[in-house]
A and B are shown apart, each in its own frame.
Chain A
Amino acid sequence: MTFQSYNEADRSITRFIEQGDGDFETLALALHDLQARYVPAIAALCQNRGITPGSNHQIHQIPAIPTIAFRDMAITSIPEQDRIHHFESSGTTAAKPSHHWHHRKSLKLYETSLRLPFQKYVLNGKKWKGRILALTPLRTEAPNSSLAHMASHVLGSDTIHAAECCDNGWNINQHICDTACEQAILSDDPLLIFGPAFSFLHWLDATDTLHKLPQGSRIMETGGYKGRSRELPKNEFHKLLSERLSVPESHIVCEYGMCELGSQAYDREIGTRQERAFRFPHWAQPIIINPETGNPCAEGEIGLLRIIDLANVYSSVAIQTQDLARSVLDGFEVLGRDQAAEPRGCSLNLLQQT
């Protein structure tokens, strides 16, 4: 299968996302062949490796673009004049952020890819009738934050946003958070709280209030501390959320995403007894790569997480992350530093590596 144009690829992949119509591997290989023609960095990489259209037969052979390359160059097929938007990686270092470029069509596809798994994993496929608190700013205030974009897109206009932009990302207004909780309790409406882990900690570490949120309340947290707050292992963090907000751990879901990806993984469908493991929707697949061989790891072996993401139609279908992971159950687990061996040596963290 080959795509003759991006329009055709967009149509086929949207159909695959919405209706499951097609074969993942065939679509991924065809999308890569298309990108190898139109994305300069991928074209150069293929030339370097002697890869010609149709020469890859397995998805792990698709040359992956490391997330860090999004800082360095435009990984996109979108001509400069058509780029109307971009998402940036967050972080506190002085290093250049990643740029993931978009135009109207790519944003539409991105939003479709955001919406469907959010509805499944966080809302159990139902319309949310409770209140919503987002620990992110409005999309208009942080236009380059993919998380703020996601919040605005999937949560709707009734959402209370408790974050205010600052030089270093955003700050949480604890008063807004507590008021939103109190109002939910008063009206006995379940509350959905959405935000990155560090924002939850900014809020909860700054206050000592305990909220007994109404039944059905739920939390979606996106992990990631980025040095902005103290760091807690996931189970301790969830325990804290559960204790302080009375949201049972079964109603806390963790999302894995990044600005270089068009798709997100979730570690459980809220309210179910599903074992925690990140699972992508059917249009994205994780591959754990053995860094020594470059081949997929054996089951359970620790390696680098690579993601084949069909929602990345206009950038790179294969994204190489720097995260260590291993496959568990039908998904994967991202390993924090405490779980993998500490790096040896005494190199300085003088600068964020190029």
Chain B
Amino acid sequence: MRDTLPNYFLFDTQPEAHLTPEVIAEACRQLKRNRAQYLRDMPTDQLITHLSRLAGNWQDDLFPFRKMALDTGPSATGFSRSTLAHGLDRFFARITEDNLHNLIAQELGDCRRLDAPLSTPEERSENRLAFARGPELIGHIASGQLPCPTMMSMIQGLLVGSAQFIKCAENAGWLPTLFAHSLYDAHPKLGACIELAHWPGGQTELESPLFDEADCITATGHDETLASIQTRINPHKRFIGYGHRVSFAYIHQDMLSRALSRDLAQRMAQDIASWNQLGCLSPHLVYVERGGAVRPEVFAEMIAEALDTLETTQPRGEISPEESGTIAYKRNFYEVRSAGTGDVRQWKSKEGTHWTVVFEEDPVFTTSCLNRFIHVKPIGDLEEMLRVAEMARGQVSTVGVAAPKNDTETIVKQLAHWGVTRVCPIGQMQDPPLGWRHDGRPPLGDLVTWTDWEQ
């Protein structure tokens, strides 16, 4: 990136440039100065116009930053060109003026509440108004390999008028930085309110100035990592932690008709292929109810066929020896298992480790080694599924559901009581809407602080 773009961000100068606590502290202070000058008082409408136009540009094949993402992205990120194109298109398609307005309205009751004190009808009856403001500086500690969650955080932070310092995840800072460049290019004043850098985990001396300067810290990571970060943050500051989560899918027997099941399997395969299954929202396994016209095992085979087809249009791309080694080892194991019993079947790409489907009669909850490796298991009904998935309870983000319309509400209620925070149709697991409540929490509501004005 450094060869083709200016060094606007610390990330651009790395790894050569040596980061010190002083550099981080000064960057944070500069961000806050820029925010006061350019961002804090920018009208929400204007901000929304800038962001939605930028998102529109990102969907245009001639947009130089998109071209760079697709041309250089495969070597920089490991995702194939078509996987990147698909993922970026789905992501930016959601960043529209309407959606951004709706997001603020959903979160704050009215989309102008960041500009001036306003009241909702309920507040008006009490003769009061309220004004929401975002943090002065948000420090994001990102993790995982997907660029979208980081870019979404950046957009949300800008919407509430906050400067942001993003500590990128290892090997995952390239695309968010490219996005920041596109922002800088379109609106230098907005770009000047964002900083990105990366340093290996455990360098607490670099995190300390960020934690000191920021008034809100968001972090994603393992629960232990979050707990450790929280202990280093002044308790008066806001800390928003998102633990790693798993997701899975549930296919109701009534959806397994001969007419519907092939299309459903194709959508399931897309959920597995999107971002190579590497996000918290990607399915680890698919529970398929027995009793449908298409048996669970046959449905697994349909997913395999769909993954094989997808490999020609959205190839997975290269992965590290450790990742492919894990897949090869797992395949070896399931081959031994399937050879010895009729309860296990495995389908896999003819060459390489591109995709794998493992069908097992044993319904025990199993996590996948990802990179397009999916487990398919038959299940009697929803109750049985929740029983066997008990070990994952509290750590599940999304359940992709295919069920008859009339049954879905009951299913959603059961899943919600069990602890699931997002239910969506098959084919949309990796594409949460803009207003998605991450871990069941309000995306902007968590960031802002209210000032109530009683009249």
Chain A residues at the B interface, C-beta cutoff of 8 Å: 40-41, 44-45, 47-48, 64-66, 68-69, 72-73, 289, 291-294, 302-304, 320, 322, 324, 337, 340-351, 353-354
B322 partner residues in chain A, CB cutoff 8 A: 324, 337, 340-343
23 contacts between A and B (CB under 8 A): A41-B336, A44-B339, A45-B335, A66-B333, A69-B333, A291-B328, A294-B328, A304-B328, A322-B326, A324-B321, A324-B322, A341-B321, A341-B323, A343-B323, A343-B369, A344-B145, A344-B278, A346-B144, A347-B369, A348-B245, A351-B366, A351-B367, A354-B366
CB pair A41–B328 under 8 Å, yes or no, is no
CB pair B352–A320 under 8 Å, yes or no, is no
Q: Is B171's CB within 8 Å of the partner chain A?
A: yes
CB pair B171–A322 under 8 Å, yes or no, is no
Q: What residue of chain A has the Cβ atom nearest to residue B78's Cβ?
A: A344
Nearest Cβ in chain A — how far from B81, in angstroms?
A: 18
Our pick among B245, B282, B329 for the contact of A322 (Cβ within 8 Å) is B329
Nearest Cβ in chain B — how far from A125, in angstroms?
A: 36
CB pair B244–A322 under 8 Å, yes or no, is no
Give per-residue flags for B307-344: 1 if the beta carbon is below 8 A from chain A beta carbons, else 0.
00000000000011111111111101101111110000
CB pair B323–A344 under 8 Å, yes or no, is yes
Our pick among A45, A69, A345 for the contact of B144 (Cβ within 8 Å) is A345
Nearest Cβ in chain A — how far from B274, in angstroms?
A: 12
A289 partner residues in chain B, CB cutoff 8 A: 328
Alpha-carbon separation in the docked complex, A349 to B335 (Å)? 23
Known: A41-B340, A66-B333. A343 touches B320 (CB 8 A): yes
Q: What residue of chain B has the Cβ atom nearest to residue A320's Cβ?
A: B332
A353 partner residues in chain B, CB cutoff 8 A: 330, 366-367, 369
Our pick among B365, B370, B392 for the contact of A345 (Cβ within 8 Å) is B370
17 other A-B residue contacts (CB within 8 Å) besides A47-B339, A341-B321:
A40-B340, A45-B336, A69-B336, A73-B340, A291-B328, A304-B325, A322-B329, A340-B322, A341-B323, A344-B276, A345-B276, A346-B145, A347-B246, A347-B367, A348-B392, A350-B246, A353-B366
Q: What residue of chain A has the Cβ atom nearest to residue B281's Cβ?
A: A346
Alpha-carbon separation in the docked complex, A72 to B344 (Å)? 13
B282 partner residues in chain A, CB cutoff 8 A: 345
Q: Is B395's CB within 8 Å of the partner chain A?
A: yes
List residues 330-377 of chain B with CB under 8 A from any CB of chain A: 330, 332-333, 335-340, 351-353, 364-371
CB pair A44–B391 under 8 Å, yes or no, is no
Q: Is B452's CB within 8 Å of the partner chain A?
A: no
B244 partner residues in chain A, CB cutoff 8 A: 346-348
Nearest Cβ in chain A — how far from B89, in angstroms?
A: 21
Nearest Cβ in chain A — how far from B396, in angstroms?
A: 10
B325 partner residues in chain A, CB cutoff 8 A: 291, 303-304, 322, 324
Known: A340-B320, A341-B321, A345-B278. A68 touches B339 (CB 8 A): no
Alpha-carbon separation in the docked complex, A322 to B320 (Å)? 14
Most A CB within 10 A of own CB, among B322, B323, B326, B352: B322
Q: Is B100's CB within 8 Å of the partner chain A?
A: no
Q: Is B277's CB within 8 Å of the partner chain A?
A: yes
Alpha-carbon separation in the docked complex, A64 to B242 (Å)? 41
> In the complex, which range does the number of interface residues on chain B fall in?
35 or more
Alpha-carbon separation in the docked complex, A347 to B338 (Å)? 25
B145 partner residues in chain A, CB cutoff 8 A: 344-346
A41 partner residues in chain B, CB cutoff 8 A: 336, 339-340
**Contacts between the two chains (Cβ within 8 Å), count:** 140
Nearest Cβ in chain B — how far from A275, in angstroms?
A: 23
Nearest Cβ in chain A — how far from B439, in angstroms?
A: 13
Q: Is B26's CB within 8 Å of the partner chain A?
A: no
CB pair B323–A347 under 8 Å, yes or no, is no
A324 partner residues in chain B, CB cutoff 8 A: 321-322, 325
CB pair A69–B337 under 8 Å, yes or no, is yes
A64 partner residues in chain B, CB cutoff 8 A: 332
Q: Is B279's CB within 8 Å of the partner chain A?
A: yes
Nearest Cβ in chain A — how far from B399, in angstroms?
A: 15
Q: What residue of chain A has the Cβ atom nearest to residue B284's Cβ?
A: A347
Alpha-carbon separation in the docked complex, A222 to B277 (Å)? 36
Nearest Cβ in chain A — how far from B170, in angstroms?
A: 7
CB pair A350–B367 under 8 Å, yes or no, is yes
B265 partner residues in chain A, CB cutoff 8 A: none
Q: What residue of chain B has the Cβ atom nearest to residue A68's Cβ?
A: B333
Nearest Cβ in chain A — how far from B69, in angstroms?
A: 18
A337 partner residues in chain B, CB cutoff 8 A: 322
Alpha-carbon separation in the docked complex, A322 to B277 (Å)? 22
A72 partner residues in chain B, CB cutoff 8 A: 333, 336-337
Alpha-carbon separation in the docked complex, A304 to B220 (Å)? 31
Q: Is B85's CB within 8 Å of the partner chain A?
A: no
A292 partner residues in chain B, CB cutoff 8 A: 324, 328, 351-353
Alpha-carbon separation in the docked complex, A199 to B141 (Å)? 35
Most A CB within 10 A of own CB, among B280, B328, B330: B328
Alpha-carbon separation in the docked complex, A342 to B171 (Å)? 9
A320 partner residues in chain B, CB cutoff 8 A: 329, 332
B80 partner residues in chain A, CB cutoff 8 A: none
A69 partner residues in chain B, CB cutoff 8 A: 333, 336-337
Known: A345-B277, A346-B279, A353-B366. A340 touches B321 (CB 8 A): yes
Q: Is B143's CB within 8 Å of the partner chain A?
A: yes
CB pair A45–B339 under 8 Å, yes or no, is yes
Nearest Cβ in chain A — how far from B369, in angstroms?
A: 7
Alpha-carbon separation in the docked complex, A304 to B324 (Å)? 9
CB pair B280–A346 under 8 Å, yes or no, is yes
A291 partner residues in chain B, CB cutoff 8 A: 321, 324-325, 327-329, 353
A351 partner residues in chain B, CB cutoff 8 A: 365-367, 391
Nearest Cβ in chain B — how far from A1, in angstroms?
A: 26
Q: What residue of chain B has the Cβ atom nearest to residue A71's Cβ?
A: B333
